[in-house]
A and B are shown apart, each in its own frame.
Chain A
Amino acid sequence: MAEARYLYCIVEGNEEITLGNIGIEDSSVYTISYQDVCAVVHNCLPEPYKSENQEKVKIWLTTHAKVVEVAWERFGTILPLRFDTIIKGEEGVLPDENVKKWLRDDYENLRQKLAKLKDRAEFGVQVFWDPKIISEGLIGTNPEIKKLSEEIKSKSRGLAYMYKQKLENLLKKDMEKEADRYFKDFYEQIRRCVDQIKVEKTKKLEEDKQMLLNLSCLLFKGKSKILGEELEKISHLKGFFVRFTGPWPPYSFV
């Protein structure tokens, strides 16, 4: 029946064990080992999991995450795989053998990656600012902007509109400069506290908050205290907010 193996992660260890029926759609999760690396898998059909039903997909995804989590706790060092990674069998080759073959072929590469991730965890750091508060601060400090915003009061409606446009452009440029400056500062600050760092794309969020910085950080498990302290400082700056998430399995560093 089952002609393929769904892969959750690669772990360090050589025991062939089962982790129980904790997999996607209650399938039994177990390990396939080659020397001192194992693949955490379940038996599945040789076709990807896909569905239009978002609730269903959501459950699959969270289950995937949970299995990776369990394996992470059990084995300590892991390489999480992307959702829906499935190794199939081939003619005359059982899927288990194919998994082993892949572990053997990729052994060196996997070992290296595992070594880099040993005892480490991933943390997400996102810094936001409130553009309103920041721009208010800027109007006070930039003399040109200050001058313009004074003059605007005595102008007719039409002219005032032109002034306002000019003012907004100036302010936008200043904001960009500020964003650059803060980005560099924060990045430096954070980089010093972590083992590895990755800059992720910023995302659009709520209207009153802009994401300035989106980082994935790799550090030793349980060593997030120093990073936490740095972030604390940033979150105390006026108009800034920090989101600190984790520890995650090191998805971003494989």
Chain B
Amino acid sequence: MEPSRDTHATLVDLLDRILDKGLVINADIIISVAGIPLIGVNLRAALAGMETMLKYGVMQAWDEKSRAWEREHRKKNVLSLVEGEEIVLKMYGSYYYSKGIYNAWKPGYFYLTNQKLILYRQDFNEITFQIPLEEIKALVTREEAHFVKEKKKQVLCLIDKQDQVHRLSAVEINQLKDAIEQKLVTMGLSLESSPVLPEFDKGPIDFLAEGEEVTHRGEKVWYLVPASGIQQETWRPGRLYLTNKRLCWWYDFDKKLIFDVPVDRIVSVNTEMRKTSGLDSKKEKVLDILYEVNLTKRTASFTGEEIDEWAEALNRIISGKIGEETETCPQCGKLAPAKELLEEGCSSCGWVSPVRDRKSHRVKTLT
């Protein structure tokens, strides 16, 4: 028998030798090579290619088997269609399901048939949503704020003949929309051309008092909800509104205002980079608002989108630069420029803004 050194396997042998064997110098003039054994292992695995694959051959078979089993059992759930019903389009998507306390996007597959639009969830064999095509009154896409990063979500609003709005989301929302529209055209049906999207989930509009108007809105603002009972203080997502009268934060989950303070109670505004979660060390810009209620000072903290803009807007209010609009004096009702009212007080009844009042107090106590 003759020794050989030209096969693939001998290359592995050789590399074993170069990496694991060979003279090793123990001296401090040697550069340490801690990473090397690792390279060796990986490389050997790659070189062993053929062998390793065979070694894992068993695994492969097992993998194939379990996959086949899974495929087969998955097949058992099939969307049942009525006779004559044909699938025109199938697309992954989700439906905003809202019933009782359950509110969530439920994912599944949209099936557009020649009769209906269906959202089917194969794993649960559940039809989450379905609507006969002739019941569709209008389709509108719009962007909605999303609580994930800065992403906006494209949502397809489907308005039915009862003026109910269903929110749909899909991989290719426009493709889905087009497909439905086309189908409707072939059926001789037409959609309302410029539908008015009923205000829904525009969040909380009904909290506004008469004459109150939203001047700033933030659809993705987190508020540090103060501790209460056994609940520790926690960041919660919601919406922040600045009206001509108040600063309010609407908690999406409870669907109510949790934070609500008249603008003239706001003493100061500050932003700071700090940690908002114990989990990661990432710092976020936090807006701290110092306000006064019943003579006690409190702070409220917010983070989220456009914090700087919020700080700016609030600062403008504090410094009384609301603008040149006119405002009625809260005491006598006389119309006067807002700036003048806030900074100098009412010229007819002598009313003075509490903000200014406090400021002058401070000045007095200082001098």
Is B25 on the interface with A (CB-CB < 8 A)? Answer: yes
Quick check: A206 and B51 within 8 Å, CB to CB? yes
Residues in B lying within 8 Å of A, measured CB to CB:
1-5, 9-11, 13-15, 17-25, 27, 29-33, 35-36, 39, 42-43, 46-47, 51, 54-55, 57-58
Quick check: B43 and A80 within 8 Å, CB to CB? no
Quick check: A231 and B1 within 8 Å, CB to CB? yes
Is A235 on the interface with B (CB-CB < 8 A)? Answer: yes
Give the one of A62, A124, A207 with max B CB within 10 A. A124
Quick check: B21 and A251 within 8 Å, CB to CB? yes
Residues in A lying within 8 Å of B, measured CB to CB:
4, 7, 9-10, 46-48, 50-51, 54, 57-58, 61-62, 64-65, 79-88, 90, 98, 101-102, 105-106, 113, 122-124, 204-207, 224, 228-229, 231-232, 235, 242-248, 251-252, 254
Taking the closest CB of chain A, its distance from the CB of B35, in whole angstroms, is 5
Task: Tell me if A's interface is mostly helix, strand, loop or mixed.
Answer: mixed
Measured CA separation A101–B29 after assembly (Å): 10
Measured CA separation A40–B19 after assembly (Å): 18
Give the one of A10, A244, A247 with max B CB within 10 A. A244
Measured CA separation A219–B5 after assembly (Å): 16
Task: Tell me if B's interface is mostly helix, strand, loop or mixed.
Answer: helix
Quick check: B21 and A252 within 8 Å, CB to CB? yes
Quick check: B29 and A83 within 8 Å, CB to CB? no
**CB-CB < 8 A to B54: which residues of A?**
205-207
Quick check: B18 and A87 within 8 Å, CB to CB? no
Instruction: Pick the contact of B43: A54, A84, A123, A251 (CB < 8 A).
Output: A54
Taking the closest CB of chain A, its distance from the CB of B33, in whole angstroms, is 4
**CB-CB < 8 A to A54: which residues of B?**
39, 42-43, 46
Quick check: B19 and A205 within 8 Å, CB to CB? no
**CB-CB < 8 A to A207: which residues of B?**
54-55, 57-58
Measured CA separation A101–B19 after assembly (Å): 25
Quick check: B58 and A228 within 8 Å, CB to CB? no
Quick check: B14 and A248 within 8 Å, CB to CB? yes
Measured CA separation A137–B58 after assembly (Å): 25
**CB-CB < 8 A to A51: which residues of B?**
39
Look across to chain B and name the residue whose beta carbon is closest to the beta carbon of A105: B27
**CB-CB < 8 A to B9: which residues of A?**
243, 245
Quick check: B2 and A244 within 8 Å, CB to CB? yes
Q: How many A-B residue pairs have CB under 8 A?
A: 137
Quick check: A90 and B29 within 8 Å, CB to CB? yes
Look across to chain A and name the residue whose beta carbon is closest to the beta carbon of B14: A65
Look across to chain A and name the residue whose beta carbon is closest to the beta carbon of B21: A251
Supply 18 further A-B pairs (C-beta < 8 A) apart from A80-B17, A86-B30: A10-B23, A50-B33, A57-B43, A58-B15, A58-B47, A62-B11, A80-B22, A82-B24, A83-B19, A83-B36, A87-B30, A101-B29, A124-B10, A204-B55, A205-B54, A228-B2, A231-B1, A245-B4
Q: List 25 A-B contacts (CB under 8 A).
A: A7-B25, A47-B31, A54-B39, A58-B15, A61-B18, A61-B19, A81-B23, A81-B25, A82-B20, A82-B22, A82-B24, A83-B18, A83-B22, A85-B25, A85-B30, A85-B33, A87-B25, A88-B31, A105-B27, A124-B13, A235-B1, A242-B1, A246-B5, A247-B5, A251-B18
**CB-CB < 8 A to B51: which residues of A?**
205-206
**CB-CB < 8 A to B57: which residues of A?**
207
**CB-CB < 8 A to A9: which residues of B?**
23
Instruction: Pick the contact of A4: B2, B19, B20, B31 (CB < 8 A).
Output: B31
Measured CA separation A17–B10 after assembly (Å): 31
Taking the closest CB of chain B, its distance from the CB of A52, in whole angstroms, is 8
Instruction: Pick the contact of B3: A10, A48, A224 (CB < 8 A).
Output: A224
**CB-CB < 8 A to B13: which residues of A?**
124, 245, 248
Measured CA separation A102–B46 after assembly (Å): 36
**CB-CB < 8 A to A79: which residues of B?**
23
Measured CA separation A251–B9 after assembly (Å): 17
**CB-CB < 8 A to B21: which residues of A?**
80, 82, 251-252, 254
